[in-house]
With several copies, the nearest count.
Chain A
Amino acid sequence: MTTEARPTSEGNKKLNLLGLDRAEYKGRPSTLCSGCGHDSISSQVIAVAWELSLDANRIIKMSGIGCSSKSPAYFLNRSHGFNTLHGRMPAVTTGALMANRDLKAIAVSGDGDTGSIGLGQYKHLLRRNLPMVYIIENNGVYGLTKGQFSATADEGQVLKYAGTNEFPAIDLCMEAIISNCGFVARSFAGDAKQVRELLKAAMSFEGTAVLDIISPCVTFNNHDESTKSYPYGKAHEERLQDISFIPTFNEVQVEMNEGDALDVKLHDGPVVRLRKLTADDHDPTNKYSALKILEESNEKHEFITGLLYINENRRTLADVEHLVDEPLATLPQEKVRPSREALDKLMKSML
């Protein structure tokens, strides 16, 4: 599913390998507040889908309810989309992906949608491991209902409308890691390049990839002191690594592996190259090291971003269930209705 755009000039339009112009990956005009972090994430999704020449017809856009969950309407018009119920996107997505194993989901949720009402489904989805990119547009508040604290808001944070948050924040990356999610990353909507590279890697990951992206709510939670704001993110973001996604076909690059860079090869060829940027000895292939760095950065109130954990060893649910290769959704009658003889035999056995 991952191939990269080679500039082909047709007129002055830049076309990807499917011969599609970037505009073909657009969605409807956004109705979110101008400046909302969610919109910048949507544009990265569009960029990546185009660059990787994704087949929009084999992607489904899934979401719950919230400003964030509206996003799927604003990218990939050519993909089927389902704006489901608040906190319940994981279950609906599980059903859709099992019905048609050729599909891959780009799912968008919010911190309220996933961390509050949806926490249980989030955790159980990760246990099942479905082929999808699970994007959490994390702003620490319920945007669509006008700014109450969500479960990811920092303890002690103060907001004009919501008052003071007295409860410890839920770290959705840590939650993902202990739920055995194989791809866990944190990023910042203001860091376009990192979001883009992580999205590419996530799209190529076989299994559920969680992207917890701090995505400022410019209307309700964008003061300098807020750890979910643009000012704070710009000032405090600490990238763990410099991430670059290397699609399959560039074998060359993969060879010339440099000193401090770690190359993680994904199942169908592509490579995620991680060049370390911080002092600490974090090994993203080690679950326990991931827990450690998160626990520490939480204590030190650091805002670290990057690929926290990656491990592609788990099978996806379709394999666990030994599904036939064709989509269940389109199996012909001969395959799904046992024969007249079968019923006969059965009835006889019950006489």
Chain B
Amino acid sequence: MSVMELETQSQLSGEPQSIVNDFVINVATVNGSGSQTANTTIIRALFKMGIPVNGKNIFPSNISGLPTWFTIRVSKDGYTARRDKSEILVAFNSQTCDADLAALEPGAVCLHPEDMRFVNKRSDVIYYGLPVKALTKEAQVEPKLKDYIANMVYVGALVKLLDIEPQKVKDALSFHFRGKAKPIAINYEIVEKAANWVGENLKKLDPYKVEAMNATTDKILIDGNTAGGLGSIFGGVTLVAWYPITPSTSLVDAINDYLPSLRRDPETGKATYAVIQAEDELAAAGTIIGAGWAGARAMTATSGPGISLMTEFSGLGYFAEVPAVIWDIMRMGPSTGLPTRVSQGDVLKVYYLGHGDTKHVVLLPGSMKECFQFGVEAFDLAERLQTPVFVLSDLDLGMNLWMTEQFDYPEKPIDRGKVLSAEDLTKLGGFARYKDVDNDGIGYRTLPGNPHPLAAYFTRGTGHDEQASYSERPDHWLANLERLARKHNTARTIVPKPVIDSKPGAKVGIIAYGSVDPSVIEARDMLREQGVETSYMRLRALPLGEEVREFIGQHDVCYVVELNFDGQMHQLVQLHTPEYAMRLRSIAHCDGLPLTARFISEKITAKEQK
């Protein structure tokens, strides 16, 4: 039932019927004010209570002083998608308090510092004013930390109002401060104070509360960039070359954080890896191409503008057939766009990255597990296919907090692909670098340093024959491109297959990928309630395979749902299945925020119910 109805109800009964584990908290603060600690404390405490949660940070592209919002979705049903309305507003930013207030639905809750001045205070919202200054006055911290701990006041208030287990808040704080007693104590003291004050001074008028569940047992909370970084480490990365850019930076940060403990040589303590901060993305791309050529498992992570700068090197990697892994944590483009907002706008660009006839292998993780798993597999695919492999994640997956089952240890041994040793060469009596020996489009390569006198070959981005010698001959050029096309078809068969959930009798199919997944899952439930049964195919890689054709063939209409303006995947799917061009519909939206389930279901019902 809607909050509206509740309102009226509670007016009658005077005693609101409670809404348990199913609401959204929107914390509005100023960035750089340390609210992250407070917000992660709340979300982790709820998580530790066994309640499904998801946290999304909507932050500005500057370092401090601008508005930022952290939304916590609490969902007993386990939905993790963004929802556009929130029931509980923590209005701790005077710049935006009125706009934030105006955005609330009637009957919603608003926590705020008691001295917060609203221009027009709505009458249909429940207010809880908090004496922030008073509660933090005696705290034993240096002045500049005062603001930080002030955020603990709303944590304490929520603990009381929502009935969050205090012990879990302690646990959350100790997780955050890695067990350091002092900060834990200082912060918890405020939480307790605030909770007590609320208990003694406020009457709860709203219906929202939480109750312990066991829906998060053995799960962890993590962001996709950390997951991807760990995947890269367990995938055996040996060289990282990068240039800082939001929102990809934290992926390399994670790698830097975990490498020392996981990848130092036990005897010598030396590094089995190199992380190089390049002077720009051209250099980062060039460095991993050089490293991949010489045999390293090399990677970089970047975002839109960096991808544009890597265009020429991506073409070289494709044509000279050099393995490398390139993560694109997608943000809003075109151009510099909005660095701290999410999109899936680089799909077309990356698939065709490079001038001339270029087509790349692209992985599309849709969960924390896949960020980890594809972090591992990207290297195997790159070395097997001897080509740059792109991993397209985005800001929502990469920088927000997601629940996930623990990651599985990679069972498949590392695949270094077709590399000839000196012994091989002795057996074979030589080799032709670009000869399609196995008819899969993939030649055999040697690594520099191979001591065999016949090991050397010359790599170039210009025309070459099977022996890798320079050639301008038309037949050589054509044969080479035809082999590369064969290789692309080989890739088609070995990249991760789509995940398909076909509902018998469903006439409507949904095709999506990446961070849109949770919204689609929720939207399908909404649609089902409205009598629209749907099948679902979540794409996990490019190039597209036969399954895509089959799936579309089984449905009257397929909606390609994505977070960009041009319906980029819709275009690629249409090109892949011209025979079904008219069955495909594009649901593309891009305003910087993750898609909501409601948006998707409304779009589809709008089209299906006429």
A/B touching: CB–CB < 8 A: yes
Query: Which of A's residues lie within 8 Å of B, judged by CB?
Result: 28, 31-34, 56-58, 60-61, 65, 67, 70, 72-73, 77-88, 90-100, 102-103, 116-117, 119-121, 124, 128, 142-146, 148-149, 151, 219, 317-318, 321-325, 327-331, 333, 335-338, 340, 342-344, 346-347, 350-351
Known: A80-B457, A88-B313, A100-B448. A145 touches B296 (CB 8 A): no
Say yes or no: B246 contacts A337, CB within 8 Å.
no
Q: Closest Cβ of chain B: how far from A264's Cβ, in Å?
A: 29
Interchain CA distance A87-B281 in the complex, whole Å: 11
Residue from the list B246, B270, B279, B285 in contact with A120, Cβ < 8 A: B279
Known: A88-B286, A335-B265. A95 touches B298 (CB 8 A): yes
CB neighbours (8 Å) of A28 from chain B are 469
B167 in the interface (beta carbon within 8 A): no
Among B16-24, B59-67, B152-160, the stretch in contact with A: B59-67
CB neighbours (8 Å) of B290 from chain A are 82, 84, 91-97, 99
Say yes or no: B455 contacts A98, CB within 8 Å.
no
Interchain CA distance A94-B294 in the complex, whole Å: 11
Interchain CA distance A81-B293 in the complex, whole Å: 10
From B458, which residue of chain A is reached at the shortest CB distance?
A81
Q: Closest Cβ of chain B: how far from A215's Cβ, in Å?
A: 14
B271 in the interface (beta carbon within 8 A): yes
Say yes or no: A83 contacts B458, CB within 8 Å.
yes
Say yes or no: B449 contacts A333, CB within 8 Å.
no
Q: Jot down 24 A-B pairs with beta carbons below 8 A, ordered by A.
A: A80-B455, A82-B290, A82-B293, A84-B316, A90-B283, A94-B241, A94-B290, A95-B291, A98-B287, A98-B291, A116-B279, A121-B279, A124-B278, A146-B244, A148-B277, A328-B295, A328-B296, A335-B265, A336-B414, A337-B236, A337-B410, A337-B414, A338-B234, A351-B218
Known: A328-B238, A346-B230. A149 touches B406 (CB 8 A): no
Say yes or no: B460 contacts A83, CB within 8 Å.
yes
CB neighbours (8 Å) of A342 from chain B are 262
From B460, which residue of chain A is reached at the shortest CB distance?
A83
B578 in the interface (beta carbon within 8 A): no
Residue from the list B238, B335, B452, B453 in contact with A329, Cβ < 8 A: B238
CB neighbours (8 Å) of B32 from chain A are 33, 219
CB neighbours (8 Å) of A80 from chain B are 446-448, 455-459
Say yes or no: B238 contacts A95, CB within 8 Å.
no
Q: Mark B270-284, 1 if CB is under 8 A from A, else 0.
A: 111111111111111
CB neighbours (8 Å) of A70 from chain B are 62
Within 8 A of A (CB), among B484-541: none
Say yes or no: A91 contacts B263, CB within 8 Å.
no
Known: A73-B458, A120-B280. A85 touches B312 (CB 8 A): yes
Within 8 A of A (CB), among B449-482: 449-453, 455-462, 469-470
Known: A121-B279, A330-B447, A338-B263. A85 touches B336 (CB 8 A): yes
Residue from the list A67, A102, A117, A351 in contact with B449, Cβ < 8 A: A102
- Most chain A CB inside 10 Å of its own CB: which residue of B233, B244, B470: B244
Say yes or no: A85 contacts B316, CB within 8 Å.
yes
CB neighbours (8 Å) of A97 from chain B are 290, 294
Known: A79-B456, A84-B316, A99-B291. A323 touches B263 (CB 8 A): no
CB neighbours (8 Å) of B409 from chain A are 340, 343-344
Say yes or no: A57 contacts B234, CB within 8 Å.
no
CB neighbours (8 Å) of B222 from chain A are 350
CB neighbours (8 Å) of B273 from chain A are 328, 336
Say yes or no: A83 contacts B455, CB within 8 Å.
no
**Known pairs A145-B249, A328-B238. 10 more at Cβ < 8 A?**
A67-B62, A72-B458, A85-B336, A86-B336, A88-B282, A124-B278, A146-B244, A325-B268, A337-B414, A342-B262
- Most chain B CB inside 10 Å of its own CB: which residue of A78, A87, A329: A329
Interchain CA distance A322-B238 in the complex, whole Å: 13
Q: Which are the 5 A-B pairs with shortest beta-carbon distances? A: A91-B286, A95-B290, A329-B295, A95-B291, A92-B290
Q: Mark B206-226, 1 if CB is under 8 A from A, else 0.
A: 000000000000111110000
From A62, which residue of chain B is reached at the shortest CB distance?
B290
Residue from the list B234, B249, B271, B293 in contact with A324, Cβ < 8 A: B271
Known: A85-B286, A347-B220, A351-B218. A323 touches B274 (CB 8 A): yes
CB neighbours (8 Å) of A327 from chain B are 295, 449
Interchain CA distance A98-B274 in the complex, whole Å: 7
Known: A31-B66, A338-B263. A99 touches B456 (CB 8 A): no
Q: Closest Cβ of chain B: how far from A226's Cβ, in Å?
A: 17
Interchain CA distance A263-B95 in the complex, whole Å: 51
Say yes or no: B447 contacts A117, CB within 8 Å.
no
Interchain CA distance A46-B295 in the complex, whole Å: 26
CB neighbours (8 Å) of B239 from chain A are 95, 98-99, 328
Say yes or no: B453 contacts A78, CB within 8 Å.
yes
CB neighbours (8 Å) of A57 from chain B are 448-453, 455-456
Interchain CA distance A94-B300 in the complex, whole Å: 14
Say yes or no: A94 contacts B287, CB within 8 Å.
yes
B407 in the interface (beta carbon within 8 A): yes
From A95, which residue of chain B is reached at the shortest CB distance?
B290
Say yes or no: B462 contacts A83, CB within 8 Å.
yes
Say yes or no: A324 contacts B270, CB within 8 Å.
yes
Say yes or no: B220 contacts A351, CB within 8 Å.
yes
Say yes or no: A87 contacts B280, CB within 8 Å.
yes
Within 8 A of A (CB), among B227-245: 230, 233-239, 241, 243-245
CB neighbours (8 Å) of B458 from chain A are 61, 72-73, 80-83
Residue from the list A56, A82, A148, A333 in contact with B236, Cβ < 8 A: A333
Q: Closest Cβ of chain A: how far from B548's Cβ, in Å?
A: 32
Residue from the list A65, A121, A148, A219 in contact with B64, Cβ < 8 A: A219
- Most chain A CB inside 10 Å of its own CB: which residue of B278, B285, B291, B292: B291
Say yes or no: A329 contacts B296, CB within 8 Å.
yes
From A94, which residue of chain B is reached at the shortest CB distance?
B287
Say yes or no: A337 contacts B234, CB within 8 Å.
yes
Q: Mark B292-329, 1 if CB is under 8 A from A, else 0.
A: 11111110000001000000110010001000000000
Say yes or no: A103 contacts B276, CB within 8 Å.
no
Interchain CA distance A336-B413 in the complex, whole Å: 11
Say yes or no: B278 contacts A91, CB within 8 Å.
yes
From A217, which residue of chain B is reached at the shortest CB distance?
B63
Known: A82-B459, A324-B270, A327-B295. A145 touches B263 (CB 8 A): no
B288 in the interface (beta carbon within 8 A): yes
CB neighbours (8 Å) of B312 from chain A are 85, 88
Residue from the list A82, A95, A124 in contact with B279, Cβ < 8 A: A124
Interchain CA distance A90-B238 in the complex, whole Å: 19
B289 in the interface (beta carbon within 8 A): yes
CB neighbours (8 Å) of A128 from chain B are 276
From B265, which residue of chain A is reached at the shortest CB distance?
A324
From A36, which residue of chain B is reached at the shortest CB distance?
B63
Known: A324-B271, A338-B262. A95 touches B292 (CB 8 A): yes
Interchain CA distance A32-B298 in the complex, whole Å: 35
Interchain CA distance A90-B283 in the complex, whole Å: 8
Interchain CA distance A120-B60 in the complex, whole Å: 31
Say yes or no: A86 contacts B272, CB within 8 Å.
no
- Most chain A CB inside 10 Å of its own CB: which residue of B222, B336, B460: B460
CB neighbours (8 Å) of B414 from chain A are 333, 336-337
Q: Closest Cβ of chain A: how far from B367's Cβ, in Å?
A: 15
CB neighbours (8 Å) of B221 from chain A are 350
From B284, which residue of chain A is reached at the shortest CB distance?
A91
- Most chain B CB inside 10 Å of its own CB: which residue of A82, A119, A143: A82
Say yes or no: B336 contacts A65, CB within 8 Å.
yes
Residue from the list A67, A99, A143, A347 in contact with B296, Cβ < 8 A: A99
- Most chain B CB inside 10 Å of its own CB: which residue of A67, A81, A99, A121: A99
Say yes or no: B286 contacts A98, CB within 8 Å.
no
Q: Closest Cβ of chain A: how far from B142's Cβ, in Å?
A: 16
